[in-house]
Amino acid sequence: MAELKDPLPPVQELGATSGPLKSAAYFIGDRCKEFNEDFMLCKNESRAPEHCLQEGRKVTRCAQEVLTNLRAACAAEFETHWQCLEQNNHYYYKCRREERPLNTCAFTKIGYKKEIPGTTEGQTPIHEVKMPYYRPQQK
């Protein structure tokens, strides 16, 4: 069979594993909200994979940008946090000590903030609680 050419325009795939993705999930959700919602609305129109390729490329490029910025600005904090998630079954509550520096760094340097949608008004978001009930057993 002859060499086949790629039917799709080139886009760099993320290539990130679950740890970095989960660590950066809220920053991606914060920065790429419009692209993500656009893509999901498009998927709602039709589930055919070729229907939303353009929107999908935008989503991937945006996430790529977030990861690149994060690695450029907060490499050490990012690395520590996602390594912690990898070691701790991907539980956010076991990695608050690693998460806080990452959040402050991302917010001060590149303006990404972690916000959980639908948190009750006036309630401390779960990732900022000082004395949580659920915490890692071994410190």
Indicate whether 76 belongs to the interface with another protein (CB under 8 A).
no
Task: Classify residue 79 as exposed, middle or buried by CB count within 10 Å of its CB (0-12, 13-18, 19+).
Answer: middle
- Please tell me the distance from the alpha carbon of residue 81 to that of residue 53, in angstroms, as a whole number: 32
Question: Residue 72 Cβ, how far from another protein at the closest point, in Å?
Answer: 19
User: Which CA distances in Å does 22 have to 11, 25, 45, 83, 124?
Assistant: 22, 5, 28, 11, 21
Of 47, 108, 30, nearest to 74 by C-alpha is: 108
Figure out which of the listed residues 12, 17, 34, 46 binds another protein, where binding follows CB under 8 A. Answer: 46
Determine, following the binding rule CB under 8 A, whether residue 83 of this chain makes contact with another protein: no
Q: Is 43 an interacting residue with respect to another protein (CB under 8 A)?
A: yes
Binder among 39, 78, 82, 112 for another protein (CB under 8 A): 39
Are 26 and 32 in contact by the 8 Å Cβ rule? The answer is: no
User: Which parts of this chain interact with another protein (CB under 8 A)?
Assistant: 1, 4, 6-8, 11, 13-14, 21-22, 25-26, 28-29, 32, 35-36, 39-40, 43, 46-53, 55-57, 59-60, 63, 92-93, 116-119, 126-127, 129, 132-134
